[in-house]
Structure 1
Amino acid sequence: MVKSRKCPPMWADLCVLAPGTAAELSGTPGSASRLLPCGAGRDAVVITPMVRGLAALDSLDLPVGDGLAVLADHVHGELIVIVEGGHLPLWEGMPGVRVLSAGAWLLVPVRGSYGTPAAAWLSRPSDDRLGSGRFTAGGPTTLAEVPAVLDVEQLRDAVLAADQIVGAP
């Protein structure tokens, strides 16, 4: 008998909510998330549809797991990636992508919470990157406190490559 190797999970696998995850998100109170101001060195890149953003992450060959600051808005079918700020021109004119920067707000799960249907971590910022003592018990108070791990230019190139596979919106 041949043993089959278990393939590592892919980002695209996260597009469909598992029944247990859906139930967990449905039962979370509204206090499981909070609005954070964007800007001050961090932007949120919102990619529609979510499957397009997940395909981009898969093409970067990033392991699925914590540490990357990636959110899902299952209500609107969007993927949200926290990145270094100041790269808005990279995304101008790209359909299905918008950037939340200074003056915008982002819904983020509080520390210790998976989130809500409108803001669920697919990859939580890792505690070793958060630094000690920077947060209140509920987590970050501004987006600037969330580590931006993904390279903005690589993410943009990956979204463009995903458009060739998934199709641009």
Structure 2
Amino acid sequence: MSETKLFAVTGNPILHSKSPCMFNNAFESMNLEARYIRIAADSATEAIYLFNKTELSGMNVTAPFKEDIMPFLDIIDDDAQKIGSVNTVVKKDGKLIGYNTDHYGVANSIIEADISLKDINAVVIGAGGAGKAAAFGLVKNGAKVTIVNRTLAKAKAAAQTARLQI
């Protein structure tokens, strides 16, 4: 029997997250030796400490740590670097590697519904880590994106990340 792999989600707050239920059901249905837990942390520093202390194979990162966790990583994927936020951390060969998969989720869910993103007009509400990733994924697939946010400065920063004209 293989060793059980351990995965987690971290953020603050995190107790409301449905990720453990969803992932554990998926692991069970696929007969995978894996468990998924929540890690409550007060900071990205604490989240990384707990990641290493519990010997996790991977961790999903949510608000408010998506940007703050980046300095603690050894390698950051090109798309995550461009977006400026990480939502997935994996340990490979002793190194912590950060990825952003949010942009795939947004763009692919639309594409899989047989909707072409080429030249479509899209609105992204919010300019935080997920908003920047959504805009990035839409633009990368040919959409024309408008970002709406409470603060203009954050909307402009997100627009630059997604390579939108301001």
Shorter-chain TM-score: which interval? under 0.3
The structure with higher relative contact order (CA 8 Å, sep 6+) is 1
TM-score by length of 1: 0.22
Whose radius of gyration is greater, 1 or 2?
2
